[in-house]
Amino acid sequence: MPGIPFVVAAPSGAGKTTVCHALVAQDPRLVFSVSHTTRPRRSGEREGVDYHFLERDEFQQLVGKGAFLEHAEYSGHLYGTSWEAIREPLARGLDVLLEIEVQGAAQVRERLPEARLVFLLPPSLAELERRLRSRNTDSEQEVARRLEIARREIRQVEHFHYAVVNDAVERAARELLSVIRAEREGRAEPLAKRLAPGALSPTLRRALELPDAGREMG
């Protein structure tokens, strides 16, 4: 049986990289999809491990060749998941984890209906801002830009199959693992039950500045 593609999308700063690495470390059947990007390498990042780093024209050439399952522009840089990154592990029956932003997740939903989409939420916008600042790798302007994008992205949460709040890395990773295992065993709950508008608590909705569920349903 082919593996399942799992998409974990989250605003930058929601802690998705940490949670995803914890997941892959705990589950031998899950492999990480290494993306391509035109963003400059941050210190500590390794070519071919964190990303495949390339120039914009090289990226565009790959787009022209149909090399990407999905790609998107995020904060002035291009990011994409190559078919190559997922094809071989899926064929071997391994599940693949795509850690991507929200526009890319929407493309995966269209092109790979078998993919399962998880939105990793920060506990609040204030906490997201704190995490973005404490990372200290981006300029003040970049932090402001990422926060603005995050507000727009969080509004897309209800198009996902699951939502997991990253209040603590270990807990969020555990919850994600239980989603993955349930999907493998074919015992996931029906879509509508998994992430109905009421599934996010009113408190969390307020913290994330989402419209309240009652208003949306009515």
> What beta strand segments (E) does 83-166 contain?
95-100, 116-121, 162-165
**Residue whose CB is less far from ligand 5GP, 136 or 186:** 136
Angstrom distance (rounded) from CA 13 to CA 217:
30
**Residue whose CB is less far from ligand 5GP, 16 or 116:** 16
Angstrom distance (rounded) from CA 98 to CA 80:
10
- DSSP annotation of 123 reads S
* Minimum CB distance to ligand 5GP, residue 112 (Å): 13
Report if residue 162 touches ligand 5GP, rule: CB under 6 A: no
Report if residue 104 touches ligand 5GP, rule: CB under 6 A: yes
> Which of 6, 32, 79, 160: binder of ligand 5GP (CB under 6 A)?
79
**Residue whose CB is less far from ligand 5GP, 88 or 189:** 88
Report if residue 38 touches ligand 5GP, rule: CB under 6 A: no
Report if residue 72 touches ligand 5GP, rule: CB under 6 A: yes
> Which of 7, 23, 30, 100: binder of ligand 5GP (CB under 6 A)?
100
- Residue 154, burial from CB neighbour count under 10 angstroms (0-12, 13-18, 19+): buried
Report if residue 120 touches ligand 5GP, rule: CB under 6 A: no
Angstrom distance (rounded) from CA 209 to CA 124:
9
Q: How far is CA 68 from CA 84, 95, 111, in A?
A: 8, 18, 11
**Residue whose CB is less far from ligand 5GP, 39 or 145:** 39
Report if residue 119 touches ligand 5GP, rule: CB under 6 A: no
> Which of 6, 32, 59, 74: binder of ligand 5GP (CB under 6 A)?
74
The pairing of strands 51-53 and 30-32 is unpaired
* Minimum CB distance to ligand 5GP, residue 124 (Å): 18
All residues at 6 or more sequence positions from 216 whose CB lies less than 8 Å from its CB, including other chains: 197
Angstrom distance (rounded) from CA 152 to CA 137:
22
Report if residue 32 touches ligand 5GP, rule: CB under 6 A: no
Amino acid at 196: A
> Which of 39, 131, 151, 184: binder of ligand 5GP (CB under 6 A)?
39
> Which of 7, 20, 23, 35: binder of ligand 5GP (CB under 6 A)?
35
All residues at 6 or more sequence positions from 22 whose CB lies less than 8 Å from its CB, including other chains: 169, 170, 173
Binding site for ligand 5GP (CB under 6 A): 12, 16, 35, 39, 70, 72, 74, 79-81, 99-101, 104
